[in-house]
Amino acid sequence: MESPLIDHPDRLAVSAAVGPIAPVPDQIGVAGIATRRRVPLLRVALAGVAVLAGSALFLSGYSLGRQAAAEPGTPADDPAAFRPFWDTYHTINDRYAGGTVDRERMVQGAIRGMIDSLADPYSAYLTSDEYRASLQGISGEFEGIGADLASQATDGSSSCTTIGPTCRLVIVKPIGGSPAERAGLLPGDRVLAADGVPFDGLSVDAARARIRGPKGTILELSIARDGASPFELSITRDIIQEPEVETRVLAGGTVGYVQLKGFSDRSASDFATAVRDQVAAGRQRLVIDLRGDPGGYVTAARQVASQFIGSGAIFWEQDARGSQTATLAIPGGVATDGSIRVVCLIDHGSASASEIVAAALQDTGRATLVGQRSFGKGTVQQWQELAGEGGAFRLTIARWLSPAKRWIHGVGLEPDITVALPAGVPPGADPTLDRALELLAPTTAPVIP
């Protein structure tokens, strides 16, 4: 069964993945780089995210889960090319004397080797368990306690990398309705240990891995809180539905702000509702924030872009034979009226489906892009599920091109207005958003005497 295309450069690629963590251009994946907030947020709820071959779902666009009902065996027109493979396979089965041969593991290893031979960071093999975890992550649901974590130097001056005497793990905020919130975790709480084992010497990623876990399991956290003695807190992990859309009102109620953190089907619907509410409230100036958004389903990208673009191509797909197919706007978008002014924020963490939307808005002149150059992921992957417990693989099957047929792979999108981010930006400051509000400020015609 063909599933919808997803374009996640990897929260990888499990939507991937995360709240929001920007991908590192020279290190494919969800490996943390500082976000615009300068404090690297790590979504504890990410337990379901599988990290593959150094990739996080942030960098993958793909279509999901087609069961291969392929013709088994060696192609009749090319037996010589496969003879070394079968010779090796049969020799191992017949003659290996070092122990029992796990044929399932051997076959999975062969499949992984074929995919790895492509040297494509966006194509990869997953075991059955990894594949299931990937699908869970792409859906926007994760298993964990549901809290944002950050590293913080003990003097409070900045973030840090290794937990220890001068670097602590703190709760930024629990997700609304999550086990963390129900258990009483508060912003600013310091997390000292998990199940009695301190985090000293661990990276933030490793600390996060210790905190996440399957639904129903109990985690004992040691917590330090200002004004109180350290105490133990028991939290039962659960499936967390990560909020992917945030909406606010800025500039004295005159500018609507909608942030999108991922491209699941649910987030696309929530995004449309948020924009509709802003427009219904009479706001004719909107800020769409795609910073740090690693992408997701390309079908969701189409829905999001169609809220502003009434007709024509949202993007093009170019397959292995060079054929190009347009994906058209869905009629009925809630903000297609040109009188609604739109600014779209991007940065180095905006990738894949985020770039599809931003490129469409830029090429059609529907929005002004403000921020920093985007990640630069211009390919689409398809998931193919293998029979039995054979797992699945994702394979690059197409390039995506902007409406003007630009291919931004490895290059990224250049914003219409670049905002430099100097070192030492104070906490809470947001120069990129400030610049967007300047652009959207109403203009007053000069008074001529």
- Residue 239's SS3 state is strand
Is residue 260 within 8 Å of residue 245, measured between CB atoms? yes
Write down how long the chain is.
449
Nearby residues of 302 by Cβ (< 8 Å), 6 or more positions away: 314, 315, 327, 329, 330, 356
Token match 């992990």: residue? 237
Q: Which of 144, 216, 229 is nearest to 190 (CA)?
A: 229
* Annotated catalytic residue, options 3, 134, 178, 377: 377
Q: Return the ∠ at Cα 46 (arms to 424 and 359), rounded to 5°.
A: 65
How many other CB atoms are found less than 10 A from the CB of residue 290?
Answer: 29
- Residue 298's SS3 state is helix
* Annotated catalytic residue, options 139, 350, 363, 374: 363
Segment (H or E) for 417: strand 417-418
Decide: residue 387, CB within 10 A, 0-12 exposed, 13-18 middle, 19+ buried.
exposed
Tell me if residue 203 is catalytic: no
Is residue 269 within 8 Å of residue 307, measured between CB atoms? no
* Beta-bridge mates of residue 317: 325, 400
Tell me if residue 352 is catalytic: yes
* Annotated catalytic residue, options 267, 352, 354, 374: 352
Tell me if residue 405 is catalytic: no
Decide: residue 140, CB within 10 A, 0-12 exposed, 13-18 middle, 19+ buried.
buried
Phi and psi dihedrals of 440, rounded to 5? Answer: -90, -5
Tokens representing 79 are: 């037996």
What positions carry a catalytic annotation?
352, 363, 377
